[in-house]
Homo-oligomer: A and B are copies of this chain.
Amino acid sequence: MKARLGPKDKIIPHPVALVVSGSFRNPNIVTVGKIGIVASDPPVVGISLRKDRYSLQLIRETGQFSVNTPSSKHCRETDYCGIVSGRDSDKIKDIKMTPLRSSLIDSPILKECPYNLECKVIQEIMLGDWVLLLAEICEVHVDEDKLIDSVTGSIDITKVDPMVFCSSINEYRVLGKKVGKGFHDGNSLRKKD
C-alpha cells in the first residue's frame, strides 16, 4: 500500500556541493543541495538558490561560480556552509579551506574538495522564492591522486569519498557498495531475437 504525502520538495538521495562565488580575493561559499547536470553538449549544470541568498547576489555580479564536491571528512564544514550566511562571516576561513586560482573564471575552486567545476551562467529562471541558475561547465579539475584515467576522466570514487544527502531524514551518507555497472547490466534483459 502507498501513503500519500502531498506535494513535497524531496528526491532521495541527492548530491551536495560547495558553490564558491565572488572573486579570488573575496570569495563566498554556500552549500547547495538543489544541483544537477541538465545538458551534455555543451555541459550545463543547474543550481538553485533562495532569492535572498548572498551567493546569488555575488553570482549575478560576475556571472560565474565554481562547484566543489566535498569528501565525507568535511561533512561538518559542508553543513556549516548551508546554515550560516556569508553576510555574517567569512565561511571559507571559518572552515579552513583554501581557495585556488581557477583557469577560466575569477571565482576560486577549493583545494580540499577533490572534484571541481568552473561554471559560467547562461540563464536564470525565477521559481517562486528560488532562482534556478543554468551555467555552462567550462572546465573540470580533479585531484591528480584521485584520477584513474586522464583521457576518460574516470576517477577513483572511493578516494573522492563524496556524500549524498537524504532530505526527508536530513542525513549525510557516504557511498556504499557497487550494485551494478551502468549502460551494461541492463543488456541482460534485452529480448533475444
> Which of the residues B1, B83, B140 comes within 8 Å of A7, measured between beta carbons?
B140
A contact residues, range: 35 or more
> Which of the residues B5, B46, B142, B182 comes within 8 Å of A140, measured between beta carbons?
B5
- Cβ A41 vs Cβ B9 within 8 A: yes
Query: Could you say which residues of chain B place their CB within 8 Å of the CB of A48?
Result: 37-39
Within 8 A of B (CB), among A135-171: 136-145, 147-148, 150, 152-155, 157, 160, 162-171
Complexed CA–CA distance, A145 and B3 (Å): 9
Complexed CA–CA distance, A42 and B181 (Å): 36
Task: Write the nearest CB–CB distance from A78 to chain B, whole angstroms.
Answer: 7
- Cβ A75 vs Cβ B180 within 8 A: yes
- Cβ B35 vs Cβ A36 within 8 A: yes
Complexed CA–CA distance, A144 and B172 (Å): 23
Within 8 A of B (CB), among A107-153: 109, 111, 115-117, 123, 125, 127-130, 132, 134, 136-145, 147-148, 150, 152-153
Closest 8 CB pairs of A and B: A80-B186, A79-B186, A36-B36, A9-B43, A39-B127, A170-B182, A176-B176, A75-B180
Can you spell out 10 A-B residue pairs with CB atoms less than 8 angstroms apart? A5-B153, A7-B138, A10-B37, A12-B162, A44-B127, A76-B188, A79-B184, A80-B185, A170-B184, A171-B178
